[in-house]
Amino acid sequence: MRIGSYSLANALIVAPMAGVTDRPFRQLCRKLGASLAVSEMVASNWRLRDTPQSRRRRDHGGETEPRSVQIVGADPAQMADAARFNVDHGAQIIDINMGCPAKKVCNTHAGSALLADEILVARILATVTAAVTVPVTLKIRTGVTPDRKNGVAIARIAADHGIAAIAVHGRTRSCAFLGSAEYDTIAAIKAAVDIPIIANGDVRTPQDARRVLARSRADGLMIGRAAQGNPWIFREIDHFLRTGEMLAPPSIGEVGATLVEHLHALHAFYGHHLGVRIARKHLSWYCKGRPGAAVFWQRVNRVECAAMQLRLVREYFDGLAEAWERAA
């Protein structure tokens, strides 16, 4: 799959997730098989550019190319300015957020709220694509409500205004993340335009990936929540789609070593104090469903020291590995 001048190694993309797809997470997912990872959404309002959070979100030091940055907003001029600003700071692809269903985003008429105003959608897309020379992509949902699935109309507007690819989450704005994703609308979008279409929503296993690609006829897949605590999902899906064979899941030793690597990256990126706190949600995802996870979580969740956090993680996974060997 190609996005503008960029040829991707495979068709697996990490979905932008606020508070999750920071640089350490993006780099880890790329290492484990994703061909592209989109940043957390960056506000288009220039007044928010110099906050510590915004500065971290535009930190691409050492990140594998191509670097994709998602911008969010509802004012065409501000969105164009944000696109230029982020390209000047290292973005090689600009992604426009018209898919987020969060109330705090939609209440500013941004994110998936924009899907209800096709005229404004066209103005934003025209202004942003004219502002930068890099590829511009778009993230949308299937429509506003189940009774107003206007994803095909939005996709046609996008194609007419030079958008390089569209990722479509298989739910409407009003559905948020409830119920099951549907792919017939994504298939209709794919049939309506001649640009790459990326299916998103409820891809949790390699078998899901093959089923969604067949149902949607999409060119690629965007995976978000299923990668939380499971970055190996990208290599597993890639292998399955190429060979039809299932890879063995990562060993306990590999999980522990990967988590330690992730923690080191978080501590270095955020600093030890904030890094320890940011790491807690990742710890809960990596350990979910594993033996003794509840007791381990109670201990590690109270830790404020980076070295202690790392030590407890090593001890926990060493114990799991030893128990596994004894059982074998």
Domain that includes residue 239, residue range: 2-243
Q: Are residues 11 and 133 in the same domain?
A: yes
Sign of CA dihedral 74, 77, 78, 82: positive
pLDDT bucket at 254, cuts 50 / 70 / 90: very high
64-77 pLDDT tens trace: 999 999 999 999 99
Residue at a domain's end among 180, 209, 243: 243
Residue at a domain's end among 243, 262, 288: 243
From CA 75, how far away is CA 270, in angstroms rounded?
A: 31
Residue 256: pLDDT over 90: yes
Give the 3-state secondary structure of 231-270.
CCHHHHHHHHHHHCCCCCCCCHHHHHHHHHHHHHHHHHHH
Q: Are residues 278 and 256 in the same domain?
A: yes
Q: Are residues 236 and 264 in the same domain?
A: no
Q: Are residues 263 and 191 in the same domain?
A: no
Sign of CA dihedral 266, 309, 258, 234: negative
Q: Which amino acid, 323?
A: A
Number of domains in the chain: 2
Q: Which of 29, 100, 106, 175 is catalytic?
A: 100
Q: How far is CA 197 from CA 78, 108, 122, 133, 322, in A?
A: 26, 27, 18, 21, 45
Residue 149: pLDDT over 70: yes
- Domain at 309, CATH number: 1.10.1200
Whether 305 is a known active-site residue: answer no
287-323 pLDDT tens trace: 999 999 999 999 999 999 999 999 999 999 999 988 8
Residue 52: pLDDT over 90: no
- Domain at 211, CATH number: 3.20.20.70
Q: Are residues 237 and 196 in the same domain?
A: yes
Q: Are residues 281 and 212 in the same domain?
A: no
pLDDT bucket at 328, cuts 50 / 70 / 90: low
- Classify burial at 263, counting beta carbons within 10 Å of its beta carbon; exposed 0-12, middle 13-18, buried 19 or more: buried
Q: Are residues 170 and 57 in the same domain?
A: yes
Q: For position 193, what pLDDT does the model report?
A: 98
Contacts of 72 (CB under 8 A, 6+ apart): 41, 42, 43, 44, 96, 97, 100, 105, 110, 111
Q: For position 134, what pLDDT does the model report?
A: 98
Residue 261: pLDDT over 70: yes
Arithmetic mean of pLDDT over the chain: 95
Q: Are residues 190 and 51 in the same domain?
A: yes
Residue at a domain's end among 243, 268, 298: 243
Q: Are residues 311 and 209 in the same domain?
A: no
Q: Are residues 160 and 297 in the same domain?
A: no
Q: Are residues 234 and 308 in the same domain?
A: no
Q: Are residues 232 and 320 in the same domain?
A: no
